[in-house]
Amino acid sequence: MWRLVGKGSRTMTCFHLAQSLFLASASASASHSSYTFISKPFHSFNNHLPQLSSVFLHPIANSATFAFCSKPGSELRTVSPKSMSNPDSISYLTQRQAAEIDETLMGPLGFSVDQLMELAGLSVAAAIAEVYKLSEHNRVLAICGPGNNGGDGLVAARHLHHFGYKPVICYPKRTPKPLYDGLVTQLESLSVPFISVEDLPLDLSEDFDIIVDAMFGFSYHGSPRPPFDGLVQMLVSLRNYDGTRQKTPAIVSVDIPSGWHVEEGDIGGEGIKPDMLVSLTAPKLCAKQFSGPHHFLGGRFVPPLIAEKYKLHLPSYSGTSMCVRIGKPPKIDVSALRENYISPEFLEEDVESDPINQFRKWFEEAVGAGLKEPNAMALSTAGKNGKVSSRMVLLKGFDENGFVWFTNYESRKAHELSENPHASLLFYWDGLNRQVRVEGSVQKVSEEESEQYFHSRPRGSQIGAIVSKQSTVVPGRNVLYELHKDLEEKYSDGSVIPKPKYWGGYRLKPELFEFWQGQKSRLHDRLSYSPEETNGGRVWKIERLAP
């Protein structure tokens, strides 16, 4: 994927931003705030590129493409996600164009060899982790060539190790330069094993779940020489088996499947057939022949100067994602989707006697695990007609008196609760293989409690509660924007925003709890709490339910 550009330099095909930009954008995304982080203006890269000297990129929205900007508001040429589902709408580079882009990146744009290699390897590791679950594909063989493509494979292996995978490196022709020596030292310090070609098993499928093909990039010419010709044939043979194997390793090629012509692709149709191709910067022409299920792009740094010159149409990266899928995901057999949960045992003798205390324990663990919005819960209600409706709301408080959330008293759920004041809550914490179901009666909280919470919210959210006549039909989003803008101006002096009478809280008083924890072979733990009278008092009865 790389080529040499002068002494000690390399070409770039990776993804992502310079470190300072990435940290700023990650901070903006992680905080979920409305703030924009703006870096200081760049000094000119050199006297020949004054148009690039004005501004470093400012991250804008989570779905925005991050890039170097020549002026405020300029952005990378992108195509809508809908059109990106068609791979033919994406730009593909010739070998000459790829080399020219690398020369520009490594020259006036100031990228360093180790920086680009680090970003490239990280993009490959991120793409692998997105598709191949650690629980099912943790044994990785990275076959690394003597050039920069091999360096990308070494970096990818290091990141995969930190992700929890178990990489093994085959690096038969080591590059005698400090950069590569350093990568080898880093891997050895992590006890990542290196294996010679002679010690590789004859059948790679017995020892590995993923094979990273990082042998040759787009600048390689001619046929592979020993020992890489034999290694390429080993990967080819994985797709030419007699059907007796239960499973073959997934092949992931970095930028170019090794042995392919950079423009004409798999000449003769007898080359490697990778399951995943991670194109870098932009796909090369040979990628049009890729027929595997997973094609990803990394290269989230392309400046407008390059995007405009080569008329690049590339997909947008979402949030802080390190890679983006090209084309539609493969067709999925929904009936075959399953997860074999691995969790600690959830036993009766270990649980709290009071379900509120047990919920608090699990909730604090969900927060401590860094799960996104652990207070999100599915609220199910039904009116007098018995038809059930569900939606996600946010828990805003809980104690021995129940679970509290806030909403519009004229919404659908509010109308249903007025007819049938009973509801069910469901919390799902995927990262911990847990869910909690709570059922009970519902009543409004006091006006004082609603007032107190309303004025604790950000002013924008307070105005949003006034603007939204929840569940009613609106002619368009612009109507909401205009109303919100008018109220922002009205209360721009910082005066108190009055809580609308149609907005407030509900409290569900629990009558039944169920705590669920996923286990192997679908033998999940399910413990229910239900109230019963004992010796004139009310206690909670704990029972195990069949999964």
87 and 324 Cβ atoms separated by less than 8 Å:
no
Q: Which residues are catalytic?
A: 522
122 and 321 Cβ atoms separated by less than 8 Å:
no
149 and 214 Cβ atoms separated by less than 8 Å:
yes
Nearest by Cα to 256 from 229, 280, 233:
280
Bigger pLDDT: 491 or 50?
491
Known binder of ligand: residue 258? yes
- pLDDT single digits (tens) 372-389: 999 999 999 999 999 999
Strand 210-214 to 139-144 pairing: parallel
Is the model's pLDDT at 2 over the cut of 70?
no
pLDDT for 84? 53
Average pLDDT over every residue of 416-436: 97
Matching residue, tokens 């919470």: 453
Distance of CA 71 to the CA centre of its chain: 29
384 half-sphere exposure, CB direction, 13 A CA radius: 3
pLDDT for 222? 79
Distance, CA of 78 to CA of 64 (rounded, Å): 10
- pLDDT single digits (tens) 509-545: 999 999 999 999 999 999 999 999 888 888 999 999 9
Distance, CA of 275 to CA of 266 (rounded, Å): 14
pLDDT for 299? 77
Known binder of ligand: residue 383? no
CATH number of 95-326: 3.40.50.10260
pLDDT for 85? 57
Q: Residue length, the chain? A: 547
Strand 397-399 to 402-408 pairing: antiparallel
- pLDDT single digits (tens) 67-111: 323 333 333 444 444 445 566 689 999 999 999 988 888 899 888
Domain with CATH 3.40.50.10260 in the chain: 95-326
Average pLDDT over every residue of 29-55: 33
Known binder of ligand: residue 223? yes
Known binder of ligand: residue 271? no
pLDDT for 229? 95
State which amino acid sits at residue 188.
E
pLDDT above 70 covers a percentage of the chain that reads 83
Tokens standing for 16?
A: 């992502």
Residue 424 pairs in a beta bridge with 380, 439
Known binder of ligand: residue 217? yes
Nearest by Cα to 139 from 157, 170, 166, 171:
166
Known binder of ligand: residue 161? no
State which amino acid sits at residue 495.
S
pLDDT for 246? 53
216 and 147 Cβ atoms separated by less than 8 Å:
yes
pLDDT for 78? 46
Distance, CA of 448 to CA of 469 (rounded, Å): 22
- pLDDT single digits (tens) 58-71: 333 333 333 323 33
Is the model's pLDDT at 26 over the cut of 50?
no
What is the CATH architecture of 355-544?
A: Roll (2.30)
* Omega of the bond leading into 227 within 30 degrees of 0 (cis): yes
Known binder of ligand: residue 340? no
pLDDT for 240? 62
CB atoms within 10 A of CB 307: 22
Matching residue, tokens 């080359």: 271
pLDDT for 527? 98
Known binder of ligand: residue 255? yes
Residue 510 pairs in a beta bridge with 440
Phi first, then psi, for residue 498 (nearest 5°) are -70, 135
292 and 277 Cβ atoms separated by less than 8 Å:
yes
Domain with CATH 2.30.110.10 in the chain: 355-544
Q: Which of 63-77, 236-250, 303-317, 400-414 has the lowest mean pLDDT?
A: 63-77
pLDDT for 72? 35
Known binder of ligand: residue 420? no
Mean pLDDT (the chain, rounded): 84
Bigger pLDDT: 310 or 376?
376
Helix (H, G, I), strand (E, B) or coil at 363: helix
Distance, CA of 41 to CA of 69 (rounded, Å): 10
- The CA–CA distances, whole Å, from 318 to 25, 29, 331, 435 equal 12, 11, 22, 28
Nearest by Cα to 120 from 14, 231, 235, 241:
14
Distance, CA of 429 to CA of 425 (rounded, Å): 13
pLDDT for 17? 33
- pLDDT single digits (tens) 216-268: 988 887 788 999 999 999 999 987 654 444 578 999 999 999 999 999 999 98
Q: Which of 8-17, 242-251, 461-470, 520-529 has the lowest mean pLDDT?
A: 8-17
